[in-house]
Amino acid sequence: MNATPHAPFPDGFHWGVATAGHQVEGNNVNSDTWLLENVPGTIFAEPSGDAIDHYHRYREDIALLASLGLTSFRFSLEWARIEPEEGQFSAAALAHYRRVLEACREHGLRTVVTYHHFTSPAWLLAAGGWEDPGTPARFARYCEAVTEHLGDLVDVACTLNEPNLPALLAAIGIGGEAPEHRASVPMWAAAAERLGIEARRVAPFQFTASEAGFEVKLAAHRAAVTAIKSSRPDLMVGWTLANSDIHAAPGGEERAATVRREVNERYLLASRGDDFVGIQTYGRHVFDADGLAPAPAGAPVNQLGEEIYPQGLEATVREAAAVAGVPVLVTENGLATEDDTQRLDYLRAAVAGVSACLADGIDVRGYIAWTAFDNFEWIFGYRPKFGLVAVDRDTQTRTPKPSAHWLGDTARSNGAGIGPAALPA
């Protein structure tokens, strides 16, 4: 790709925003996540419910995103809608997603399509989920069907979203229970009872950090690549990783090195040979002798209490390029805050970091912000506000924030005027 004159960003660079089906569509009732949200002992703050009703409002939402000046839209397909029972593919669901893709085409948005963004059909969870050896073949069958029906309208394909997130969460003390300990966790016990299986076999994608989970996810990714390429050999295919900028405080060097190796490097090495790797970074994690260190005293924090650290994106992009050796696409980056001025400063600094990578010859194909709309943020519910577009969930009214207009204007100019000098000290 050639750089646009007076801008560090190459022609064809993806400027976009992202969503995930379960977080925006609403009423994804056949999914494992819907089940987990609604069992006794759930760790979800609230159920997703109607979400922001994107399933019915996608046309106006896509038109809005295009009107801002963005060039790309990353969104996910819901396996639980497309294959609500094993082996039964819904023609209606496939037709719906084809209409979504066609709407993107009509409005000039390139499509970055995620085949699996955390949620799976409930029947897959009942069959052993993401630790069952049969899951890769089931996932490949789904990917093949999807690509046969929709592949001509897909510009970039992401197989799995953040297969390494459970490992990162486990490293900072959240979840990651081994199979033999799951019966003692109320949510897993309740889900097992609902599904009629043993608690040790409850292995949802988003919470499974076991070695078996790694092997199944990697096999599923590779099987999916083959399935997708069987219909679209020319399509760029990769997976997206939750890579944090890992730092060590005094006494935490060994722990930080282990986390970096198990969470970032292991999955980047597995990305070698793919067409690209998607990098999704929100900040950094610092480890000291006791484990995860708190945010530095006086440092600004986001709504989840985490240090605001946009410089982390540049570090993880550089790491990805060095370890994986394939093109990098930033598929998520954003900030949970009610203060859009904070978000705007964060986005500016993060994009400046991407420009610094490009200036050094690193092949970065795009910057896609998380997220398009304020939406359902998994176990945290609707409280965290990552959206560049605000949503009043009582009326479902969408209101673009200044950050949305900034990113759209940046897309229109292909980043003219943005350079590494914009990075904070």
Average pLDDT over the chain, rounded to whole? 96
Q: What is the domain count for the chain?
A: 1
What pLDDT is recorded for position 5? 37
**pLDDT band per the 50, 70, 90 thresholds, residue 424:** very low
* CA atoms of 85 and 402, how far apart (whole Å): 43
What pLDDT is recorded for position 65? 98
Buried b (16+ CB within 10 A) or exposed e, 352-385: bbbbbbbeeebebbbbbbbbbbbbbbbbeebebb
**pLDDT band per the 50, 70, 90 thresholds, residue 8:** confident
- Tell me: pLDDT of 184 over 70: yes
**pLDDT band per the 50, 70, 90 thresholds, residue 3:** very low
What pLDDT is recorded for position 174? 87
What pLDDT is recorded for position 338? 98
- Residue 260 domain-assigned (yes or no): yes
List phi, psi (to 5°) of 274.
-75, 170
- Tell me: pLDDT of 4 over 80: no
Residues with Cβ < 8 Å from 106, sequence gap 6 or more? none
What would the pLDDT profile of 216-243 be if each residue is shown by its tens digit? 999 999 999 999 999 999 999 999 999 9
Residues with Cβ < 8 Å from 137, sequence gap 6 or more? 223
- Tell me: pLDDT of 423 over 90: no
- Tell me: pLDDT of 2 over 60: no
- Residue 319 domain-assigned (yes or no): yes
pLDDT cut 90: percent of the chain above it:
95
Name 115's bridge partners: none
Count of C-beta atoms within a 10 Å radius of residue 311: 18
Give the chain's length.
Answer: 425
Specify whether the CB–CB gap between 147 and 228 falls below 8 A.
Answer: yes
How much is the average pLDDT of 399-418? 96
- Residue 4 domain-assigned (yes or no): no
pLDDT cut 70: percent of the chain above it:
97
- Tell me: pLDDT of 422 over 80: no
Specify whether the CB–CB gap between 356 and 371 falls below 8 A.
Answer: no
Q: What is the SS3 string spanning the chain? A: CCECCCCCCECCCEEEEECCHHHHCCCCCCEHHHHHHCCCCCCCCCCCCCCCCHHHHHHHHHHHHHHHCCCEEEEECCHHHHCCECCECCHHHHHHHHHHHHHHHHCCCEEEEEEECCCCEHHHHHCCHHHCCCHHHHHHHHHHHHHHHHHHHCCEEEEEECCCHHHHHHHCCCCCCCHHHHHHCHHHHHHHHHHCCCHHHCCCHHHCCCHHHHHHHHHHHHHHHHHHHHHCCCCEEEEEEECCEEEECCCCHHHHHHHHHHHHHHHHHHCCCCCCEEEECCCEEEEECCEECCCCCCCCECCCCCECCCCHHHHHHHHHHHHHCCCEEEEECCCCCCCHHHHHHHHHHHHHHHHHHHHCCCCEEEEEEECCECCCCHHHCCCCCCCCEEEECCCCEEEECHHHHHHHHHHHCCCCCCCHHHCCC
* CA atoms of 24 and 374, how far apart (whole Å): 9
Specify whether the CB–CB gap between 359 and 367 falls below 8 A.
Answer: no
Own/partner contacts of 220-223, CB < 8 Å, gap of 24 or more, are 220/130, 220/135, 220/136, 220/139, 220/140, 220/159, 220/160, 221/159, 221/160, 221/163, 221/270, 222/136, 223/136, 223/137, 223/139, 223/140, 223/143
How much is the average pLDDT of 102-112? 98
Count of C-beta atoms within a 10 Å radius of residue 328: 25
How much is the average pLDDT of 151-165? 98
- Residue 8 domain-assigned (yes or no): no
Answer yes or no: 262 catalytic.
Answer: no
- Residue 3 domain-assigned (yes or no): no
What angle is formed at CA 53 by the lines to CA 52 and CA 57, rounded to 5 degrees? Answer: 115
What would the pLDDT profile of 255-299 be if each residue is shown by its tens digit? 999 999 999 999 999 999 999 999 999 999 999 999 999 999 999
What would the pLDDT profile of 9-43 be if each residue is shown by its tens digit? 999 999 999 999 999 999 999 999 999 999 999 99
What pLDDT is recorded for position 420? 55
* CATH number assigned to the domain comprising residue 289: 3.20.20.80
Residues with Cβ < 8 Å from 56, sequence gap 6 or more? none
- Residue 228 domain-assigned (yes or no): yes
- Residue 5 domain-assigned (yes or no): no
How much is the average pLDDT of 314-320? 98
Starting at the edge strand that comes first in sequence, how are the strands of the sheet with 291-292 ordered?
245-248, 284-288, 291-292
Sign of CA dihedral 123, 124, 127, 128: negative
- The boundaries of the domain holding residue 318 are 14-422
- Residue 26 domain-assigned (yes or no): yes
Single out the catalytic residue among 37, 131, 144, 162: 162
What pLDDT is recorded for position 175? 87
